Amino acid sequence: MPTDLTALSLSHEQAVAALAIQAEVRVVAMALDDLPAELDLLDAVERGRAARFATPQLQRRFIAAHAALRRLLAWASNDDPAALRISADAQGKPVLGDYPHLHFSLSHCAGRALVALGSAPLGVDIEAFIRRDTALLADQILGPAELCRWHSLPPEQQVRALTEAWTGKEALLKACGFGLRVDPVTLELGQGEHVLPGGGRWFLRPLACVPGHAAALAQALPVQPLGLFELKPDRAQGIRLHLLAPSAATA
C-alpha cells in the first residue's frame, strides 16, 4: 500500500463521489485505535454486541469498526449513518435493506480493519500472520493437496502461505454467504477464478494493504476495477477518506 505521502486526502463531497454506487469495488483500510468510537451511530443490535466484549479495548475496536462502516456506507448512499438499516439475509450475510444494490463486507483483526464496497456481491478478510500452532491450524484450513504443498515450503514461507490461504477461503465464503458453515478444508484454492458448488463464480485476489497481515478480496464475476483507500482521523471532520490507489482493472 502506498505511504501517506502519496495518499490524496478527500473532502466530504469527494468521499461521497468516490464511494458512490457504481461498477467498481472500493477497499478501505483503517487502524481502529486511531478512529473515533462513535457509539451513537450504532443500532440496538450493534450496541448489544459491543456490550458483550470482555475488555474495553475489544469493545472500543468493535464500536470504531462498525461506526466507520456506517460512515462509509453513508458516503456511498448519501444517507445518514445512524439511520441505515443493516440486517442479515437468509444466510446470515449482512445487507443494507434500503440500498440492496450496495454490497459490503467488513473484516477486522485486532486493531486493523478492511471494508469492501461494491455494486455486486463481495467478501473481504484480513488476518495477522499465523505464527503459532501453524501445523495444527494447517490441518484445519488446508485441503489434502494444499497441505502437501504447504509442507514442502521452507519454514519461513509457511507462515505467509497459511495465512494467505485462510484469508482467501474466508473472503470467498463470506462473499457467497456460506461463512464457516462450509469446512475450509473442502475448498481448494487456485489462482483467480473460483466456482463454488451452489455458491456461484468468484474472482479471488490478494490485497497487500497492511504490514504483518494477509488480506484477500473475493468479487463476483465479471471482475470490476478496484480502488484502494484509507480512513484516518481528521481534526476538522472527525474522519477523512484518503485515496491510496485509483481504480484499476485486474490484470
Each domain of the chain, given as residue ranges in start order, spans 1-120+224-244, 123-222
pLDDT in the model for residue 4: 35
The CATH number of 1-120+224-244 is 3.90.470.20
Q: Write the pLDDT tens digit of every residue in 152-196.
A: 999 989 999 999 999 999 999 999 988 878 899 999 998 789 988
Residues 30 and 67 sit within 8 Å (Cβ to Cβ): no
For the chain, the first-to-last Cα distance in angstroms comes to 17
Q: Write the pLDDT tens digit of every residue in 63-80.
A: 999 999 999 999 999 999
pLDDT in the model for residue 250: 45
pLDDT in the model for residue 244: 85
Whole-angstrom distance, CA of residue 183 vs CA of residue 169: 10
What is 123-222's CATH topology? Answer: Ribosomal Protein L22; Chain A (3.90.470)
Q: What is each CA distance from 243 to 7, 99, 146, 169, 221, in whole angstroms?
A: 5, 24, 36, 27, 25
Domains 1-120+224-244 and 123-222 belong to one CATH topology: yes
Q: Give the residue ranges of the chain where pLDDT is below 70.
A: 1-7, 20-23, 246-251
Whole-angstrom distance, CA of residue 163 vs CA of residue 130: 6
Whole-angstrom distance, CA of residue 50 vs CA of residue 47: 5
Residue that has been written with the C-alpha cell 463476483 in this structure: 220
**In terms of Cα–Cα distance, which of 171, 247, 242, 248 is closest to 6?**
242
Neighbour count for residue 134 (Cβ, 10 Å) = 18
